[in-house]
A and B are shown apart, each in its own frame.
Chain A
Amino acid sequence: MKRNRDDILMQKETTNSIRRYEHHLELTAEWLMRSIEKGRGGSCAFFSPLLGWSKPYPETTGYLIPTLISISNALDDHKYSAAALRIGQWLLDIQSQNGSWHGGLYPSASSEGSVFNTGQILKGMMALFHLTGDHVFLSAADRGANWLASGVDGYGLWPASDYRASETPSYYTHVAWPMLEVWKSTQSVSQRTAAERFLDMALERKLSNGAIAQWGFDDQGSAFTHNIAYTIRGFQESSRLIGDYSKYGRPMEEILEFFVKKSELSNGRVSGEFDESLAGVKKYVCLTGNAQLAVCILLMEQQKSDLRLVNAASKMIDFIGSVQAKSRFVKSIRGGVAGSYPLWGRYMFMRYPNWSAKFYCDSLILIKNRLELER
């Protein structure tokens, strides 16, 4: 009986949407908890129907922490913040002497620090510092941010410790953001200066159509909406942290309006990749990017206060909900969000990444809060 009721509640469009979003949040949060149970200290990078649970992934375990804390508040359930604390402790244990964290899954063959991965873990450290007031987290974040700041050259690039040393990708705005997050608490001038040097350089890559050059994994070709949204969000959050929306937030409006239209015209089923001329690759949806873009649109809406933007975000979120794994028969995928729809799409082919679930939760919490404001 319960199964029927749950499924009907989630699927029926006329059901109270706030409750429907809460239901999806509960379902996804439970999947994230399973990724932690199986994560040997952290959270598994993904579940694959063919290979099972992966090894833990420090990078995404790091940025999962603020999401778990938000879930705790949204669902009024302490177990999620307790889990956040546990995985935070694990991240402290594996931090390198120089303040960085290595890339890839844990354990890693290489002990070399990774710029992007370190940046994402800083978000977790800062969230735990704000949650607990424990300076051990701030201290770890400070060391990590100092390591990142020391790597930025005069052009605003990270020439070392990265997979594309000569051309730092534009989505590294997602590294500048946590550096500024740390700066807010440490007031370290070098952390802010380095972050802004990168952001200013990346903003110069803005094209006349609003796209940001080199925002994908590759120098050439199309970018996943996942990376596109990383780029945009990095700018948006950096603007918030420095208290100047016009500097990095407003320049993102043009490209976000493009995705608003895309969402509306496709009923939330946005193409998974776009090239720099904004031509979409239509064969699949990058569900991760869909959720992230919905978050970016909702953040812009906080500035604009326009329910038309909520509408576009809602369609993207609803689409993810409509294809989320809900089967009770395979526990490891129930509540998971695949990297792509269909599952064999190019982004995270045949896998359920923990960051898809994380960003979906973020989007659900944001839209739920926004709708509650209208009550």
Chain B
Amino acid sequence: MKLVITAGFDGSIPALALCELLRRSGHCIETVLVVTPYSPTRLKKMLRQRGMQGIKKVASKLLNLKKSGAELSLQTQFLIHKGISYSSLKAWCKVNEVKYILVGNLNSSKSINSVKQSNPDAILYAGGGILRSTFIEVANHKIVNSHSGPLPEIRGMNAVEWSILLGYEPSITIHMIDRGIDTGKIISRKRIPIGKGETIETLRDKAVISGVLEVTRLFDGLTDLDDLNKETSRDGLVGRQCYIMAPAVRELLSNKLEGFLND
């Protein structure tokens, strides 16, 4: 299949893993669409939603700042385990002669034109912000996403955290993207394996890795996206959208996490 993959930044590990694993399974990656983190609109939005904490967090992620002596993240370990040694999406695209398009926004005309030109069989969404209807239309509604929570109950942000806090089994959902937030048709759901000594960070990493593996599994040997079984009805059930946790609610999660992991 001809695929386009999106990413929220050049160092996105899930996007890099998807690119390489799907290439290995015989798919043709036409274009990688990467959103530049330096867009003023993006920074402004982040500042409004998360305050300076959000900016600091993203900056350290972008600059790949690690505390000295810190262990490798599960996502990085996953790349090593899969023998993926590219430092960035740009590097991967260069080696594999794939179009690398840097855009300010996935909904920009530059981004939409590149999708039109690529005319993909499917787009794999691995970050880059909310997609507007124009993008979804141009993609013929063939956009697949891995969401880090059980749908339709837990949609939106901090899905792993909200799953635990609200008493749902942490799982990932592969689904189609439509105009709503995580409201598209569901393709599959998968439990996140939980081991000893988990933290929110390790669970989030595991959710990302599970999503990559599940998409790779679903796309293995697939020639037409329509061949995937999709849930046609959600029985009208759409959970209240989740957002970034406020400090007070995050504290509740910390208290609950210990009990949850012991159970």
| A interface residues, Cβ below 8 angstroms from B | 13-14, 16-18, 21, 257, 261, 264-269, 306-312, 314-315, 318, 367, 371, 374-375
Contact = CB atoms under 8 A, between A and B. Distances in A.
B168 interface: no
Nearest to B256: A374
A311 B244 CA distance: 9
Contact of B53 (A13, A18, A264): A13
Given A306-B240, A307-B166, A318-B247, A374 B51 contact: no
Contact of A14 (B165, B242, B247): B247
Given A13-B53, A261-B241, A264-B243, A310 B249 contact: yes
Contacts of B166: 306-308
Contacts of B249: 307, 310-311, 314
Contact of B246 (A18, A315, A374): A315
15 contacts: A16-B251, A18-B248, A21-B248, A257-B240, A264-B244, A267-B49, A308-B162, A308-B166, A308-B241, A310-B248, A311-B243, A311-B249, A314-B248, A318-B246, A367-B248
Contacts of B50: 267
Contacts of A311: 243, 245-246, 249
A266 B165 CA distance: 23
A16 B245 CA distance: 15
B141 to A, nearest CB: 25
Contacts of A17: 247-248, 251
Interface string B192-215: 000000000000000000000000
A261 B244 CA distance: 12
B14 to A, nearest CB: 25
Contact of B48 (A13, A16, A267, A308): A267
Interface string B235-263: 00000111111111101100100000000
A306 B50 CA distance: 22
Main secondary structure of the interface of B (DSSP, over half): helix
Contacts of A266: 48-49
Interface in B166-202: 166
Given A314-B248, A374-B252, A308 B240 contact: yes
Contacts of A309: 240
Contacts of A268: 246
A267 B247 CA distance: 11
A13 B247 contact: yes
A307 B251 CA distance: 12
A204 B241 CA distance: 29
B252 A267 contact: no
Contact of A371 (B240, B241, B244, B248): B248
Contacts, number: 60
A300 to B, nearest CB: 11
Interface in B111-156: none
Contacts of A318: 246-248
B58 to A, nearest CB: 15
A13 B249 CA distance: 11
A105 to B, nearest CB: 37
Nearest to A367: B248
A116 to B, nearest CB: 33
A320 to B, nearest CB: 13
A341 to B, nearest CB: 15
A265 B252 contact: no
Interface string B44-56: 0000111101000
A267 B245 CA distance: 10
A371 B247 contact: no
Given A261-B241, A314-B247, 4 more contacts: A17-B247, A17-B251, A308-B241, A371-B252
Contacts of B240: 257, 306, 308-309
Q: Most A CB atoms within 10 A — which of B48, B243, B248?
A: B248
Nearest to B47: A267
Nearest to A13: B247
Q: Most A CB atoms within 10 A — which of B50, B51, B244?
A: B51
